[in-house]
Structure 1
Amino acid sequence: MKSDKTELLQGTLDMLILKALQLDAMHGFGLSQRLRQMSAEVFQVEMGSLYPALCRLEKKGWIKGKWGVSEANRRARYYSLTAAGRRQFETEKSHWALLSNTVNTMLDAT
């Protein structure tokens, strides 16, 4: 059965969240929208996947959250990247480059 959804590889969501937070602190819904925009609508990250990832990243010290008020005048938790998160993003980005280049090389092999 064909699925219209494009699934993220395990572990890539964390890296993409770190990337999205490089620009500015965001609340969960805004972050979901940013990820969708960054992927040209290919990835649609559901809240059921996003919030556990945010909790995981916060627990690791890569992001920090604080309560604020959203544009809709609602209480929202805003997440921002920590210095450790910036370093982790660079590590993840390097690892991704190696992995994707290796897979592409294997796929192009005859």
Structure 2
Amino acid sequence: MATLAKDVMRGYLDAIVLNVLRRGESYGYQVTKDINAAAHGAYTINEATLYTVFKRLEKGGCISGRWGDESQGGRRKYYAITASGQALLAAERANWTLAQQTLEELINGD
């Protein structure tokens, strides 16, 4: 199976994580599983990369985090998308559409 280069994915990680969190509050390991499952083997995100994205988005006010109150195992930090995150996701989706159309023309156009 072909895989996407990490360089290709790097510019879209914020949008990818925000899209996962758009479905509801989640924690790191589950977000990793959701991304990897949605990519069908073409891309896998590692936890170090994911937590870097979480930090950047939280610092920018695009997501909020809270510590869970699990009674067994380690505590989980749960993340949720904010209104700013919703706005960023909408902008990133528009940017993706433009990039997709432009690359299609540049690579496959006459």
> Hey, what's the Cα distance between the residues in 2 that align with 1:74 and 1:49?
20
TM-score where L is the length of structure 2 = 0.88
Q: Taking structure 1 as reference, are residues 18 and 75 closer, same or farther at Cα in structure 2, changes over 3 Å only? A: same
Structure number having the greater helix percentage? 2
Report the AA paired with residue 44 of structure 1.
T
Give the alignment of 1:27-106 within 5 angstroms: 27-69=27-69, 73-106=73-106
Residue in 1 that maps onto 2:19? 19
The size of the alignment, in residue pairs, is 107
> Hey, what's the Cα distance between the residues in 1 that align with 2:3 and 2:38?
16
Report the AA paired with residue 42 of structure 1.
A
Q: Taking structure 1 as reference, are residues 101 and 72 closer, same or farther at Cα in structure 2, changes over 3 Å only? A: farther
Does the CA contact (< 8 Å) of 2:3 and 2:41 recur in 1?
A: no
C-alpha root-mean-square deviation of aligned residues, in Å?
Answer: 1.9
Report the AA paired with residue 87 of structure 1.
A
Which stretches of structure 1, 4 residues or more, deviate above 6 A after TM superposition? none
> Hey, what's the Cα distance between the residues in 1 that align with 2:35 and 2:92?
17
Identity rate of aligned residues, in percent? 25
Question: Cα offset for 1:70?
Answer: 5.4
Does the CA contact (< 8 Å) of 2:25 and 2:81 recur in 1?
A: yes
> Hey, what's the Cα distance between the residues in 2 that align with 1:11 and 1:70?
34
Question: Cα offset for 1:42?
Answer: 1.9
Structure 2 residue runs without a partner (length 5+):
none
TM-score where L is the length of structure 1 = 0.88
